[in-house]
Amino acid sequence: MNLGYRLSRRASREFDAIVDYRRRVAGDASARRLEADLIDAFGLIASQPGMGSRRPDLTMRRYRFWLKHDYWIIYRLHSAQQLLIVALIDARRDIGRLLRQSGAPA
């Protein structure tokens, strides 16, 4: 199964913020590598959407979680042909609290 994928508005904002932060603290080359690694991870998840873990301790939604570098990629099937990247959250943060605060259904 090889689905397309798209980022939600939230995930798109988080992706930009993550890459911008890396650029500020580690430089352009590091930011470009992180950006490429995350994009590669999105493609990998789209090709194998069942690879992530369900987290019923965090949400009853059909979200899956995949860790890449220090970021949880939270995603779900959007349609038969497309995966939706719902959020990108720093793994050091309280994911459950952030999902509840952001208005993402738990």
- pLDDT score at 104: 53
Domains with residue ranges and CATH for the chain: 4-54+61-101 (3.30.2310.20)
- pLDDT score at 92: 83
Q: For the whole model, what pTM was predicted?
A: 0.84
| Torsion sign over Cα 25, 97, 42, 66 | positive
In this prediction, residue 16 has a pLDDT band, given cuts at 50, 70 and 90, of very high
